[in-house]
Amino acid sequence: MNITPDEVRTDLYVEDLKQRQQEIYNNIGTGNENSWKDWKWQMRHAIRTIDQFEHLTGIILSSDEKIRLSKVVEIFPLSITPYYLSLIDTENYSTDPVFLQSFPSVHELNIDSNDMRDPLSEDHDSPVKGITHRYPDRVLFHISNTCSMYCRHCTRKRKVGDIDSIPDRQSIEEGVNYIRSNSNVRDVLLSGGDPFLLSDEYLDWILSRIREIPHVEVIRVGTRTPVVLPYRITDNLVGILKKYHPLWINTHFNHPQEITSSSKTALSKLADAGIPLGNQSVLLAGINDCPRIIKRLVHLLVKNRVRPYYLFQCDLSEGLSHFRTPIGKGVEIIESLRGHTSGFAIPTYVIDAPGGGGKIPVMPNYLISLSTNKVVLRNYEGVITTYAEPDSYISPTCDRNCDACSLQLRLKEGSEYKSEGVFKLLSDFDDTITLTPSDNERVKRRENDDSDEE
């Protein structure tokens, strides 16, 4: 039986892809002509063992290699959708970006001295199960503990697939209650695992519970389904999502080879529903650590109405050391983009700080020097230029009395305006001069001296 395969895969391997999907389908051996594009069929037939992988791809590994890989899979399970599997160029699989992202490697057992179990301290910043509350006005809400494809570079590797579970209504309610009782949370980021592996009905219910909370302005969903399971983006799902605007989606393309006609269809369904789309990539050694590859990727993304949002430095999670690049590689990539291509095609390169410090942007330096009346800058071409500061500038001194200010903010409810962090050092209304680490020895000595005097 012939399936309806993907017609094109960017500009590469067009014929190959059709053929490969047909072969994989034939090897799976069950279904009808619509099965290939049925996401539940794809999930049921996700590749979970090395034997299945060999059977479906025709790639044969040595028995020695298989023994070593089975140890990896015991710790970090394997799952690849038939669709994502079909993107692997089987002739050159060992350097194939899809293979490298989805197939286990013995390197995953190398625990580098810098590796950490929970590098982002997501467990520490978790007030209730499923919620990570790190930033003042937004939370991460883990509503699914499962994925269709387990990315080998996953930060939450130890958790995802471990107990392939979906939180029950009661634990979702606990998260919802937390959000409801914290009125400063205006942005809820649904994550997991992959939220889109939940059923339409369950997702509809979760979204409706969150949407009921008056102070939640924006709902975001992080999902890799447009990349690894594009058939999940059904008309029915899109119909549900549309009811909860403003709803934003971030997806996770890492390589141009992942953009196919099916993923394009999925993205356009979402964009047509008025959902702003972003993309978070991870910089991965041997996969996309190349300015040309990232440039090609961001161009394909914006062509498909996806705004490159973040380029992540690979985290320090256990078993990821073989994927890590030096930070210089990321800076080099941003240097290759800024000025050279459309500004909206350029992601922000960030390092998610170990220990829960959150995302820290890293960029090439454009500010070369400054005096009181001039700033020296350089552009992407290496041109060094100056910008003259204004002769007279009167900064609106901020005493937080917005009603009396000449600038018109005009808030109905004169809400509390707090400043935190480095911004606090800059503000007029706070006389903090320094930020000092809590374990600073000098300050501790001073406190001890003070208590002696009493």
Find tokens 């903010």 and name the residue: 409
The verdict on whether 402 is a catalytic residue reads no
Decide if residue 138 touches ligand PLP (CB under 6 A). Answer: yes
Distance CA 214, CA 197 (A): 27
Residue 134 interaction partner, one of ligand SF4, ligand PLP, none, beta carbon < 5-8 Å per kind: ligand PLP
Contact partner at residue 290 from ligand PLP, ligand SF4, none, CB < 5 to 8 Å by partner kind? ligand SF4
Strands (E), 271-394: 277-282, 306-312, 348-353, 358-361, 367-370, 374-378, 384-388
Given 81, 132, 325, 336, the residue binding ligand PLP (CB under 6 A) = 132
340 binds ligand SF4 (CB under 6 A): no
Residue 428 backbone dihedrals phi, psi, to 5 degrees: -75, -30
- For residue 291, the minimal CB distance to ligand SF4 (Å) is 7
Give the nearest distance from C-beta 278 to ligand PLP in angstroms.
9
Distances 247 to 207, 282, 301 between C-alpha atoms, Å = 10, 23, 19
Instruction: Please pick, among 13, 38, 93, 135, the residue that the annotation labels catalytic.
Output: 135
Query: Residue 285, interface with ligand SF4 (CB under 6 A)?
Result: no
DSSP state of 140: E
* Tokens coding 9: 């895969």
Distances (CA, A) of 185 to 217, 349, 396, 423: 9, 25, 29, 20
DSSP label at residue 184: T
Number of chain positions touching ligand PLP (CB under 6 A) = 7
Which residue in 232, 165, 235, 241 sits closest to 207, CA to CA? Answer: 241
Least separation in angstroms between CB 287 and ligand SF4? 11
Query: Distance between CA 172 and CA 170 in Å, rounded?
Result: 5
Question: Quick one: which of 12, 61, 271, 290 contacts ligand SF4 (CB under 6 A)?
Answer: 290
Neighbours of 236 (CB within 10 A): 10
Residue type, 454: E
Strands 187-191 and 138-142: parallel
**Could you say whether residue 140 binds ligand PLP (CB under 6 A)?**
yes
Question: Could you confirm whether 352 is annotated as catalytic?
Answer: yes
Stretch of residues binding ligand SF4 (CB under 6 A), selected from 231-239, 243-251, 269-277, 289-297: 289-297
Active-site pick, 6, 9, 20, 154: 154
Kindly state the smallest distance separating residue 283's Cβ from ligand SF4, in Å.
13
Q: Is there binding between residue 154 and ligand PLP (CB under 6 A)?
A: no
CB 288 within 8 A of CB 281: yes
- Asked if 180 touches ligand PLP (CB under 6 A), the answer is no
**Among 156-164, 211-219, 285-293, 334-342, the segment contacting ligand SF4 (CB under 6 A):** 285-293
Decide: 317 and 116 in contact? Cβ < 8 Å: yes
Query: Is 158 a binder of ligand PLP (CB under 6 A)?
Result: no
296 annotated active-site: no
Q: Are 232 and 251 in contact (CB under 8 A)?
A: no
Q: Catalytic residue among 20, 37, 156, 220, which?
A: 156
Using rule CB under 6 A, residue 292 touches ligand SF4 = yes
- Residue 95's alpha-carbon distances to 14, 79, 98, 101, in angstroms, are 19, 19, 9, 10
138 is catalytic: yes
Single-letter code of the amino acid located at 139: V
Considering the rule CB under 6 A, would residue 293 count as an interface residue with ligand SF4?
yes
Contacted by 292, from ligand PLP, ligand SF4, none: CB < 5 to 8 Å by type: ligand SF4
Binding part of the chain for ligand PLP, among 135-143, 264-272, 377-385, 427-435 by CB under 6 A, reads: 135-143
Per the annotation, the verdict on 359 as an active-site residue is yes
Which one, 348 or 419, has the nearer CB to ligand PLP?
348
* 360 three-state secondary structure: strand
Give which of 170, 182, 187 is closest to 129, Cα–Cα. 170
**Footprint (CB under 6 A) of ligand PLP, residues 185-214:** 189
Write out the residues near ligand PLP by the rule CB under 6 A.
Answer: 132, 134-135, 138, 140, 189, 359
Active-site positions?
134-135, 138, 147, 151, 154, 156, 315, 352, 359
